[in-house]
Amino acid sequence: MTAFIFPGQGSQEPGMGRALYEAHAEAREVFGTGSRVTGRDLAALCFENDAGTLSRTVNAQLAVFTVSMAAYAVRKGETEPPAALAGFSLGECSALCAAGCLSLEDGFRLVQKRAEAMQEACEDGNGAMSALLCNAPLQLYYEADGGGHNSPSQPHCGPAGAERDSRRHAAAWAVAVNFNCPGQTVVAGTPEGVAVLEERCRAAGGRVSRLALSGAFHTKAMAGAGAALRVFAGTLSFRPPAVPLYTNLSGEILSPGADIPRHLEAHMTNPVLWQKCVENMIAAGMTRFIETGHGSSLAKLIRRIDRGAEVL
């Protein structure tokens, strides 16, 4: 059984999708649809910008979604229909389109609004994200301030009675936001708070990689962007998924009766449970995963989750 998986922000790269665009009419049609709906030349966005310009959230998300949907348009005609779908963060918007929850046109409208809202939310530069690579247990927590992170869908560890490192920075906070695979977790928060968790990772013998992002994605810092996205999504037409879609919020299949605008809002402020999504798909019988979009970031994570899985 085959699952199609869709990458998120961070997979963008100058020139992405050009070979696909030049070789396949289906891909060109997706680019054309997106350009018409968004009012932007998406071929120029993907093919002609440098890495710095393309990495801006308002550009990266549209570029990643465009190439993912172009790849899906080509791939779905070349292989058996998927038995399951999943997307990483932004990639869940691609999965929603592939599942038939909304039209491609509305998918472009949704992603454009999402990108603009998130770009605005991180304009103050007071956010940071970092990948922690460590096999030792780590305490990953936030400064308890009533920010709404303590929920079943936001796993975290408290200080366990130890003096809180974040007392050195009264306004500092950080929390785990991406549970990617064994030994790899992404954290987000204020730059000072993220630095505290980076220090903890290094002390445990791990490595850290600060991401080229100025926002604390999937945290309370995105609450305003999430609310704006919910209101906008309420103007779109959604349908129940025609294919099982494993969501980042729970790692489980999205309910056919889900309130998708509210789901999208919660998705903005809660962590990406990617490892759980993959483990549940494998438990349901998925043996092959096709990364549908630019790059191979998800393929690498899946190989660390289950070495027996076939990944294309």
Do 7 and 108 belong to one domain?
A: yes
Which of 159, 179, 210 delimits the end of a domain?
210
Residue 92 lies in a domain: yes
CATH number reported for the structural domain that contains residue 79 in this entry = 3.40.366.10
93 shares its domain with 236: yes
Regarding whether 155 and 49 lie in a shared domain, the answer is: no
Residue 152 shares a structural domain with residue 290 = no
Instruction: Mark whether 11 is an active-site residue.
Output: no
Same domain, 305 and 246: yes
- Tell me, yes or no, whether 170 and 107 share the same domain: no
On whether residue 215 sits in a domain, the answer given is no
pTM for the complete prediction? 0.90
Residue 20 placed within a domain = yes
Share of the chain above pLDDT 70, in %: 91
Do 89 and 141 lie in a common domain?
A: no
pLDDT in tens, 93-131: 999 999 999 999 999 999 999 999 999 998 877 899 999
In this prediction, residues 236-257 reach a mean pLDDT of: 97
pLDDT, tens only, 191-224: 999 999 999 999 999 999 999 887 999 999 999 9
Q: Which residue has the higher pLDDT, 162 or 3?
A: 3
Query: What is the number of domains present in the chain?
Result: 2
Q: Do 24 and 118 belong together in one domain?
A: yes
Q: From the candidates 68, 94, 130, 218, give the one annotated as an active-site residue.
A: 218
Do 114 and 232 lie in a common domain? yes
Same domain, 46 and 92: yes
| Catalytic entry in 11, 89, 94, 166 | 89
Residue 267 annotated to the active site:
no
- Determine, yes or no, domain membership for 51: yes
Q: Is the pLDDT of residue 165 over 80?
A: no
Task: Pick the last residue of a domain from 210, 242, 273.
Answer: 210
Out of 210, 235, 268, a domain closes at 210
Distance separating alpha carbons of residues 218 and 216, to the nearest angstrom = 7
- Both 143 and 19 in one domain: the answer is no
The answer on 15 and 43 residing in a single domain is yes
206 versus 156: the higher-pLDDT residue is: 206
Expressed as residue numbers, the domain containing 102 is: 2-122+220-311
Q: Which pLDDT band holds residue 139 (cuts at 50, 70, 90)? A: confident
